[in-house]
Amino acid sequence: VGGEQISSIGRGLCVLLGISLEDTQRELEHMVRKILNLRVFEDESGKHWSKSVMDKQYEVLCVSQFTLQCILKGNKPDYHMAMPTEQAECFYNNFLEQLRKAYKPELVKDGKFGAYMQVHIQNDGPVTIELESPAAAVDPKQLTKLEKQQQRKEKTRTKVPSESSRERNAPRNKDDPSASSGAEGDVSSEREP
């Protein structure tokens, strides 16, 4: 963070934690159990997928990453599903506290909440596993009202032509300033954040 190393671990797990608006204490407890008991390490005889981070007494590095909650609106990320900063920071700190209580506090490290960080991960394998709590798993048939509205807007946006075919085929007067091709400027209705 800002050119200074604030945390590091040896062998273990790097947890990139995305916190949703809908997350509760129940999801938090589920994720703590899942992370600590996930069998992704080999045992003493070399058998893969046999041991958890707790079995091996490895470390855990947690990084809060709201970008995991992004939904794409066309090609632009939308973060309305991410928990607001003040709530998310409290949730994240509670997550760390629960993780440390359930394991060894000295083996659980974290980044700096809300900071722009350079995260260097040496991904062994590489193995990357996405974990979601059962309540957080989304069935496409059960999209939230907001997501359905967004999808309707996207469909409407792509179906509406910018000009009628009659206007498109009509000859344009070179001297008429309103006869622009539209190439002179950005006519997008979307605003930058």
Q: How far is CA 188 from the centre of its chain?
A: 26
**What is the DSSP code (8-state) at residue 51?**
B
Residue 16 identity (one-letter amino acid): L
The stretches of the chain forming alpha helices (DSSP H) are 25-37, 53-56, 85-102, 145-159, 165-169
User: What number of residues does the chain have?
Assistant: 193
Q: How far apart are CA 114 and CA 89, in angstroms?
A: 8
β-bridge pairing 71-73 and 108-110? unpaired
Residue 108 DSSP symbol: E
Active-site choice (24, 67, 85, 144): 67
The span from the CA of 5 to the CA of 8, in Å, is: 8
Question: How far apart, in Å, do the first and last CA atoms of the chain sit?
Answer: 23
Q: Is 67 a known active-site residue?
A: yes
Helices 25-37 and 85-102, interaxial angle, to 10°? 40
Active site residues: 67
